[in-house]
Structure 1
Amino acid sequence: MQSFNFNAEDIAEYFLAQPTSRKSEEITPLKLQKLLYYAQGFTLAILGKSLFTDRIEAWRHGPVCRNVYEKYKKYSYHPLPKFKDMDKLNKIKSSQNVSAILDAVWIYFKDYSGVQLEEMTHQEKPWQDAVTNGLNTEMPPYDLLKYFKGFVKK
């Protein structure tokens, strides 16, 4: 499957650069993982390409990109620091279709907590299907594409 030239860390940093005005908008490592999952799913459904090539795995607490987890796990359940590398952010913003999807994901999910998002993902077919093969199993992009296509009207 074709992919944009981003990795999951790039997309994580895009979310971490979003302005927040309420405590509910703060991003914890758990919330960040779910934002990555939704961003990947909707990008696949709308643009027909993977947002990033990193695997998303079905962990006990929902979808996870392992490398992003490793980078931010020291924060536990605490809010993550803001990201401010404008060169990196401009790379994503230069792809208007991608940044529009990421902005929409942020607007829709920003007030949900990581726990609420975890509960949502546990009700969704891609995570449920993957965990039937065992925890930490990959959630293949094709499964995300099929699932999220159901939410996207052309």
Structure 2
Amino acid sequence: MHALFVANYIIEYSNKKGYKINNLKLQKLLYFVNVRNILENGTPLFEESMEKWKYGPVVPDVYHEYKRFGAFSISTDEMIMEYVEFSVSPFGELSDLEITEYDSQKVENTQLIENTVDALHGFGPFELVDITHDHTPWKKYEDRIMDGVQGIKYTIEEIKDFFGHNPGAKIWVQ
């Protein structure tokens, strides 16, 4: 599943429940639903890797799709409804475009997503940033991240290790 479609589901659900959602909070919610899915089901919820950025975990593709909103809320009407994939050969030739339409009925583990969003909606975006900054998988790279090193990815192993040794970090548990 594409992270963009999980993000869209989070946006739709948040709007339906009257929760404010901007790009920064969306990124943190993506992190926590992905972490929860890894811990409870053994695999990531989406294909794309999460990276360690200055403001915590980010899915770059989703960030770039929604960055135009800045700190403003994202409404359901403004969601990106198609995911476009293509590749470029070493000779500069484009592959065929593959366009996938968003369909909320095809999003997996929606109950996990909804329960996590419900549990975390009361946290502000910067509270979630601060929480993720305290997590060892981000903290051990803090100097490099703050020096502008890009592309540092979260691994399944470090997520399992951190949350396995720090059950209190599972802030979705009420």
TM-score by length of 2: 0.73
The structure carrying a bigger helix percent of its residues is 1
| Bigger-Rg structure (1/2) | 2
Determine the structure 1 residue equivalent to 2:121.
110
Contact 1:42 1:148 in 2 (8 A): no
Contact 1:34 1:118 in 2 (8 A): yes
Determine the structure 2 residue equivalent to 1:145.
160
Give the aligned length: 141
- Identify unmatched segments of 5+ residues in structure 1: 1-5
Secondary structure, counterpart of 1:17 in structure 2: helix
Determine the structure 2 residue equivalent to 1:7.
2
- CA-based RMSD: 2.3
Determine the structure 1 residue equivalent to 2:93.
none
Determine the structure 2 residue equivalent to 1:57.
51
- Identify unmatched segments of 5+ residues in structure 2: 82-100
Give the alignment partner of residue 90 of structure 1, picking from 79, 98, 105.
105
Secondary structure, counterpart of 1:42 in structure 2: helix
- Mean Cα deviation higher: 79-88 or 124-133: 79-88
Determine the structure 2 residue equivalent to 1:101.
112
CA distance in 2, matches of 1:116, 1:77: 14
Determine the structure 2 residue equivalent to 1:41.
35
Secondary structure, counterpart of 2:52 in structure 1: strand
- Deviation of 1:102 after TM superposition, in Å, equals 0.7
1:16 aligns with 2:11: yes
**Alpha-carbon distance change, 87 to 63 in structure 1, aligned in 2, over 3 angstroms:** closer
Determine the structure 2 residue equivalent to 1:3.
none
Contact 1:57 1:138 in 2 (8 A): yes
- Choose between structure 1 and 2 for higher RCO, CA contacts under 8 A separated by at least 6 residues: 1
Identity of aligned residues (%): 22
Contact 2:51 2:60 in 1 (8 A): yes
CA distance in 2, matches of 1:7, 1:126: 23
Contact 2:31 2:57 in 1 (8 A): yes
